[in-house]
Amino acid sequence: MEENEEIIPEVNDIILEHLMNPRNYGQIDDCGCCGIGYDDKSGEFVIVYMNIEDDTISDIKFSAQACQDTIVAGSMFTEMVIGDKLANGAKSALFVRDKIKEAPLKQRACTSLVITAFEACIKNYENRALGIDEELHKIKIQESCEIKEEKQHG
């Protein structure tokens, strides 16, 4: 048994690889579109940068002020959609949203930051195509990962 398996047995190799070596993390200078998903309760956010050529996601990167779960979700999601048609990327976002419905609150919120930032990026792309002068688009996530402390009975 490897040392990491003993410490965190529930983490599979793919997640561990994305945690240790996140893909597509960073910024695209002069990107074609940019979106932010944010949680106003926790202060966490994700920024997605994309370039789209011939209706295909030619490049995508993300940056975050968030936990490691969010970094893993961003790495895995951007790997899923890079090189795909924009419409398929949007379908992938809906698929991921549906799949995380039963996940624990923290994982739902962390993944939602990434998906929401991606959706905001698409909205920015659409707005720019309509001639709207918008540097980026921001969308607040619906469900915060901030856990409310239970009142203690005295």
pLDDT at 106: 86
Per-residue pLDDT of the chain (154 residues; tens, 9 = 90+): 444 444 445 558 888 888 889 999 999 999 999 999 999 999 999 999 999 999 999 999 999 999 999 999 999 999 999 999 999 999 999 999 999 998 888 889 999 999 999 999 999 999 999 999 999 999 999 888 765 543 344 4
Q: Which two tokens stand for residue 80?
A: 């899923």
pLDDT at 146: 64
CATH of domain 22-140: 3.90.1010.10
pLDDT at 17: 86
pLDDT at 10: 57
* Contacts by residues 13-16 (CB-CB < 8 Å, ≥ 24 positions apart): 14/76, 15/72, 15/76
Antiparallel, parallel or unpaired: β 56-65 and 137-140? unpaired
Q: Indicate if the alpha-carbon torsion angle 58, 87, 85, 67 is positive or negative.
A: positive
For residues 96 and 91, what is the distance between their CA atoms, to the nearest angstrom?
A: 9
- CB contact at 8 A, 137 and 36: yes
